[in-house]
Amino acid sequence: MRGTVRAVCISEVRGVKKQEVPGRLRVLAGYGIEGDAHGGTWHRQISLLAYEKIAEFNRLGGNVENGDFGENIVVSGIDLRALPVGTRLRLSDALLEVTQIGKECHEHCQIYKRAGDCIMPREGIFTRVIEAGTIGKGDSLDVI
């Protein structure tokens, strides 16, 4: 199964939407995306969200952009939610491993407060970095 990276987003602090970054970014083994506040030695180093789910949310009036849900990588062509924990993903020359599907939302985010829904808690997936590399818009994402 192969998908395409539509956007790579980071934020320097937690609790704010991520900004789409042009060009290539370094991915560090055991950490995440260099410069992203959610990087660290935990199981949610990089988050992914399907482009198709964002587009569907927008068709329903969501009015969101890449990074608004706090996702690091927007990818098209793969049903991310269907991937089981433990699945490995080759993203350019980096290797990721799925560690969590969805997340509990303890406090409703700004999107939920504005639109009455947020898809990240049920559609987002989280990964840890097994092998370092560089990533950017247009890269392929392969399910291994």
Q: What are the extents of the domains in the chain?
A: 2-143
Which tens digit of pLDDT belongs to each residue from 4-23?
A: 999 999 999 987 889 999 99
**Residue carrying the six token digits 């990276």:** 5
Q: What is the end-to-end Cα distance of the chain in Å, rounded?
A: 8
Top-tier CATH class for 2-143? mainly beta
Q: Where does residue 100 rank: exposed (0-12), middle (13-18), buried (19+ CB within 10 A)?
A: middle
Contact 45, 38 (CB under 8 A): yes
Task: Choose among 45, 38, 37, 59: nearest CA to 117.
Answer: 59
The band of 116, judged by pLDDT with boundaries at 50, 70 and 90, is low
pLDDT at position 90, please?
98
Of how many residues is the chain composed?
Answer: 144
pTM reported for the whole predicted model: 0.92
- What tens digit of pLDDT does each residue of 30-81 get? 999 999 999 999 999 999 999 999 999 899 888 899 998 889 999 999 999 9
